[in-house]
Amino acid sequence: SGSGNPPPPPPFPYVFALAVYIDSLVDGLLVGLTLITGKSAGMYMAVAMAVEMGFLGLTFAAACSGQPKRKAVAAVVAGPVCLMLGSGLGGLVANALAVNEPALVGCTAFGVAALLYMVAEELLVSAHEEGEEHVWWIDLQVFVGFLLALVVAKAFG
């Protein structure tokens, strides 16, 4: 106890870090995709992502506390970098799809449905009564519904 050596840092949260980086890339991709559909849509998506990523960033930073400073700072900064890379990639994909409006609508519908699915997934699981199994095809209806809504709105709007 009196050795004077500091305790070793807790194990690094590699799985959590990977989840944060993948989420950041996908969120950035969605922002990039929605920016081409309209400036206001992209701004709403960016604001929503900023709020979500703010909470995720704080949680991840707290999980990295106790790590060596350089490792913790690099890990926490990598999330926003992934967000920017994903946004750039989303913009490139959206520009490539701009000539094919049905493909762009499909990608945008998938992106919006994926975002709402991630947000609503916990609510969908919580909505099932105790002992009731989670049914995958009910969740699939969220994706199909948004795709159909956007396709119909684009076709008749």
- Condensed to tens digits (0 to 9), the pLDDT of residues 61-102 reads 999 999 999 999 999 999 999 999 999 998 898 888 888 888
Structure tokens of 82? 């992934």
114-133 confidence digits (pLDDT tens):
766 666 665 555 555 555 66
Instruction: Count CB neighbours of 42 within 10 A.
Output: 21
**pTM of this prediction?**
0.69
- The answer, yes or no, to whether residue 45 has pLDDT greater than 90, is no
Counting Cβ atoms within 10 Å, is residue 12 exposed (0-12), middle (13-18) or buried (19+)? middle
Structure tokens of 83? 């967000």
Specify whether the CB–CB gap between 38 and 2 falls below 8 A: no
